[in-house]
Amino acid sequence: MRCFSCDNLSIKPVCDDCIKDFLTPEMIKKEVGNLEVISFFDYYLTVEFIKSKYTTSGYRVYKFLAQKFIAPFIRAYLEGIKSTPLYLIGVDEDISRGYSNVAQMVHFGSLKSDVKALHNVLRAKNRVKYAGESLEFRLNNPRNFIYKGPKGIDAILIDDTVTTGTTLEQAHRVLKESGVNVHFALTLANAKEGMDY
């Protein structure tokens, strides 16, 4: 197998050198409405990994990122809280490239912990793409999420990237209306508002 980033031989999808050079977590916090969003990386330092979702190798990369960063973070978080059970809910687990990168994050992020993965319960009726679009465009074209999961639960909201926060804010509003107590949102990357991703 070869490293996704440098193409050197590696038994992991990302070699140790590239992990050290490009994947050192920064733990960036951002407030979106009344939702705290925690991201592991600056988008622009990890863009090739985030954009791997558009490639066939993306499945391996997102599985690796979820196991390496999301799962340990969630296990550590669970040690500090008494609220159980806790669920992971992905933002719109759309399968448009043969797999869903967000579903990968939810599934592999929930392994080896007491957190439960809820798949495909928060879907967007409006299939509009926000990548590269302005805040005005995003506000004028809401995703119109529908939640079809259990009510009265505690959850962590999962997405790959936060830019303006409009997607997470819309998702959070729908979950709140359905009686879901969202502790926070967790994303791999934080991109600056208005930038292309």
User: What DSSP letter does each residue of 105-158 carry, written as one string?
Assistant: HHHHHHTTSS-EEE-S-EEESS----TT--HHHHHHS---EEE-S-SS-EEEEE
Does residue 10 fall inside a structural domain? no
135-187 pLDDT tens trace = 788 778 888 899 999 999 999 999 999 988 889 999 999 999 999 999 999 99
Domain membership of residue 134 as a residue range: 25-190
Of residues 158, 156, 150, the one with CA closest to residue 182: 156
pLDDT at res. 196: 44
Three-state DSSP at 84 gives: coil
Indicate which CATH number applies to the domain containing 70: 3.40.50
Q: Is the pTM of this model over 0.85?
A: yes
User: Is 164 part of a structural domain of the chain?
Assistant: yes
Whether the Cβ atoms of residue 175 and residue 160 lie closer than 8 Å to each other? no
- 123: which strand partners? 146
**Given pLDDT bands bounded at 50, 70 and 90, which one contains residue 197?**
very low
What tokens were used for 32? 């979106």
50 and 43 Cβ atoms separated by less than 8 Å: yes
The two tokens of residue 33 are: 């409405």
Residue 6 lies in a domain: no
Asked whether the beta carbons of 120 and 185 are under 8 A apart, the reply is: no
CB 150 within 8 A of CB 178: no
Overall number of domains in the chain: 1
pLDDT for position 42? 93
From the number of C-beta atoms within 10 Å of its C-beta (0-12, 13-18, 19+), residue 158 rates as: buried
Residue 89 in contact with residue 158, Cβ under 8 Å?
yes
- Furthest CA-CA distance within the chain: 49
**101: in domain:** yes
Given this model, what pLDDT does residue 195 score?
45
Reported as a pLDDT band with limits 50, 70 and 90, residue 193 is: low
In a domain, 176, yes or no: yes
pLDDT for the residue 83: 63
Q: What is the pLDDT of residues 72-110, one digit of tens each?
A: 999 999 888 876 689 999 998 877 666 889 999 999 999
Is the residue at 76 inside a domain? yes
* 21-26 own/partner pairs: CB under 8 Å, 24+ apart: 22/46, 22/49, 23/49, 23/65, 23/68, 23/69, 25/69
In a domain, 96, yes or no: yes
Q: What share of the chain is helix, strand, coil (3-state, %, to 5)?
A: 35, 25, 40
